[in-house]
Amino acid sequence: MVFLNKRKSNNFDSSEKPWSLKALVSRIKKKTNSDCDDFMVIGIDFGTTYSGVAWATIADFEKDQINLVTSWPGYGREEGKAPTELFYEHDQVMWGYGIPADAEPIRWFKLLLLKEEDLAPELRQAEYLLRAQKVLREYNKTAVDLIADYLKCLWDHILYTINKARGKFVVDGLTFHVVITVPAIWKGYARQGMEEAARKSGILDPRPAGRTTLTFAPEPEAAALATICEPGRTIEEDDVYVICDAGGGTVDLVSYKVSDTDPITLHEAVVGTGGLCGGIFIDEAFESICKARLGRQWSKLSQTGVKEIMKNEWEYAIKPQYRANDTSKKEYIVAIPAEAFKGASMNDDSRKPIIKEGRIYFSSSDIQKAFTSVFADIEKLVDGQINKAKESGLSVTGIILVGGLGSSPYLYDHLVARYERRKIGVLQSTGIRPRTAICRGAIFKGFLDGPTQSTADASPGEKHPPKVTSGISVASTIARQSLGLVVSERFEAGKHLEEDKYYDRDEGHYFVSNQMQWFLEKNVPKLQPVQHAYYRLFRSKDHFDEAANRFEYVIRQCDDDVPPSRFVGNIKNLCTITVELDVPYESLEDFISAEGNMMKKFNFVVEMVPSGASIDFSVLYEGIKLGSQNAKIEFE
């Protein structure tokens, strides 16, 4: 429920709304001066525990139609996502639902892209992550290899699904723009690893219609785009929504403020938070409840038998439909495979829950215990967002649930009971929409932003997916860390330390070294591109040639809430920009030194561009951005 007032608002029921998909397509066609019917955007939500896919052409988008992949190999029912799991056997790669029931799959390998210091402390010793690390050693693979293997299987199935729906001849004529969602807190090196995995998987392989482009979108931003503007919802200026992405492994939250409604403009209001309290921990709690009731009989179950209980009886039956406030005194019956009762009775009414004919009869309160701990952790995360918003003078309007666990009716009921008395609404879409919000939001990002991160090395005149810059957008996000360069600057008494002071005979002035110039400061909104101008002096052509026209500049990062002004020990390297200047020495600007010597001056600009899932850096020379062949970025 969303509480309304007399502030400027818009209702999404109207087909005339300026941010409708039809209106956005109209802008795209007007902007590109064509029908743009030969592009397709494919959104991939590569999740820790489950992955989903959406796709749409301009024509689909115009009809408010975003297509979902809901049919998966090895699974006979419609489902919005497939498990992010792998299994290797006899040089064969199995994935998703196609993994045999008696196999022990590799899980959580997405997190292997992160350095240990960037993992939450509770994640570092997580059982699934430790097993995935062990597999890397056993199979002599890297994290990129595992992700590439999974993405290859997923991509092959995506192409099969789209070809089946539209026909291979038609699809071959469409240029693809792929958007992969990544966690908002991921640093550049992790995104670079994802890009390498995507390339190895074949996603960017040549196609008849031309080059496939790839961009990345932050998961909470994608979720916001897909959910805040759903038909039937009313939003108002200054509304603040907490997006609660409750997935299988983690629960991630971020809050957005609606700063305008025509066009819709969102600003990140509170820096995102998250925790290890996803649906898998509810599963583990239920498994412990079953194990405690069966006692030694549980040990008689094979791996297949355990999976039969956890998948068929729990994940596909009880868990997604459970509601604690059901007043019907309903019992929840869980069938136990007969192998558990070898040499023992299939009946036991000596204590509750009773076992009758090989079935455990759970009460609602028995089932509720499986959710208790996880829901308590989710409450803390939501409270944290609400309190931080309050500290910034903002009042949260509503909580929007997305993700697999985010589709739970019990989670909805639980949060409604806790927050609606505080006049904070809780919104949950029906069906598989919460579960598929992120991959659907990736489609929005693909059409709204275009391939802004993947065109640096494009061929001249190459056609790209259309881009529209109005209608709905996330205008700013909050920086998770400070980013900058170590520079030298003119010495100022009282401002700089004497220990950093040195005399530059070429310029005839005192300078200080080890100074930080920050492009971005932690907890400050990322809005527009930031540019800083720099220069380098050369005494002679030999001096210039010694560097082989190749210069390196290191972008530094700092996690302190207030970054220091000097280069100190808590500042780390983020990435190295290597600039190859393909210009003759004679063309550089003349510079007369303090001693009267003729020198050359290389002027350049480093630009930081906030681009959703990451911060992109580029180098400009004489006002022109150097392509990837001249300026390369390598993350630490």
CATH code, 210: 3.30.420.40
Q: Which of 440, 352, 466, 434 is nearest to 28 (CA)?
A: 466
Do 461 and 507 fall into the same domain? no
Query: Mind listing the pLDDT tens digit for each residue in 205-238?
Result: 999 999 999 999 888 889 888 887 776 777 888 9
| Domain assignment of residue 576, given as a range | 479-635
Do 451 and 511 fall into the same domain? no
**What is the identity of the amino acid at 406?**
G
Strands of 276-397 (E only): list them.
332-335, 355-356, 359-362
Do 453 and 507 fall into the same domain? no
Give 540 or 286, the one with higher predicted confidence: 286
Average pLDDT, the chain: 85
Do 333 and 455 fall into the same domain? no
User: Is 260 part of any domain?
Assistant: no
User: Is 400 part of any domain?
Assistant: no
Cα torsion 401, 402, 405, 409: sign: positive
What percent of the chain shows pLDDT beyond 90?
53
Q: Which SS3 state, helix, strand or coil, does residue 511 take?
A: strand
Q: Which SS3 state, helix, strand or coil, does residue 437 take?
A: helix
Partner residues linked to 607 by β-bridges: 531, 618
Do 612 and 547 fall into the same domain? yes
User: Is 607 part of any domain?
Assistant: yes
pLDDT at 251 over 60: yes
- Distance, in Å, from the CA atom of 320 to the CA atom of 316, rounded to the nearest integer, reads 7
**What is the identity of the amino acid at 407?**
S
Q: What is the pLDDT of residue 36?
A: 57
Please list the alpha-helical segments (H only) found in 68-142.
121-124, 127-139
Do 443 and 518 fall into the same domain? no
Do 541 and 443 fall into the same domain? no
User: Is 245 part of any domain?
Assistant: no
Do 82 and 127 fall into the same domain? yes
DSSP 197-231: HHHHHTTTS--TT-PPEEEEEEHHHHHHHHHTT-T
Query: Mind listing the pLDDT tens digit for each residue in 307-327?
Result: 999 999 999 999 999 998 766
Query: Mind listing the pLDDT tens digit for each residue in 381-428?
Result: 999 999 999 999 999 999 999 999 999 999 999 999 999 999 999 999
Do 460 and 519 fall into the same domain? no
Q: How confident is the model at residue 296 (pLDDT cuts 50, 70, 90)?
A: very high
Q: What is the pLDDT of residue 581?
A: 72
- Distance, in Å, from the CA atom of 391 to the CA atom of 395, rounded to the nearest integer, reads 9
Cis before residue 218, ω within 30 degrees of 0?
no
Strands of 251-397 (E only): list them.
251-261, 264-275, 332-335, 355-356, 359-362
Do 541 and 580 fall into the same domain? yes
Do 348 and 449 fall into the same domain? no
pLDDT at 277 over 60: yes
pLDDT at 361 over 60: yes
Over residues 268-285, mean pLDDT = 89
Last residue within a domain, chosen from 316, 345, 371: 371
Domain count, the chain: 3
Last residue within a domain, chosen from 320, 342, 371: 371
CB 240 within 8 A of CB 395: yes
User: Is 103 part of any domain?
Assistant: yes
State CA 472 to chain mean position distance: 19
User: Is 208 part of any domain?
Assistant: yes
Residue 67 φ/ψ, nearest 5 degrees: -80, 140
- Distance, in Å, from the CA atom of 506 to the CA atom of 503, rounded to the nearest integer, reads 9
Do 216 and 118 fall into the same domain? yes
Tokens 């996330």 locate to: 474
What percent of the chain shows pLDDT beyond 70?
86
Q: Which SS3 state, helix, strand or coil, does residue 265 take?
A: strand
User: Is 155 part of any domain?
Assistant: yes
